[in-house]
Structure 1
Amino acid sequence: MEMTVGDLVKRLSACDPASPLRLAVNPFFPMEHRLEQVVEATDRAGRLVVYLAEGRNADTQLGHLPPKVAVALAWQAPVQAPPRRPRRSARPAGGR
Structure 2
Amino acid sequence: MGRHRRGAKREVTVADLIDELRRFDPGAEVRLAIQPRMPQEHGVGTLAQADGIVWIGDGGQRGYAPDEVGERLGWS
TM-score, normalisation: structure 1: 0.65
Structure 1: how far apart are the matches of 2:69 and 2:39? 9
Runs (5+) with no aligned partner, structure 1: 43-47, 77-96
Which stretches of structure 1, 4 residues or longer, exceed 4 Å deviation after superposition? none
After TM superposition, give the deviation of residue 17 of structure 1 in Å.
Answer: 1.2
The reply on whether 1:54 has 2:58 as its aligned counterpart is yes
Q: Give the CA RMSD over aligned residues.
A: 1.1
1:69-84 equivalences in 2 (<5 Å): 69-76=69-76
Q: Which has the larger radius of gyration?
A: 1
TM-score w.r.t. length of structure 2: 0.80
Note if 1:31 corresponds to 2:40. Answer: yes
Instruction: Please give the alpha-carbon distance, in whole angstroms, between the structure 2 residues aligned to 1:63 and 1:30.
Output: 9
| CA offsets 1:30-51 (integer angstroms, 9 cap, x no match) | 1010102111111xxxxx1011
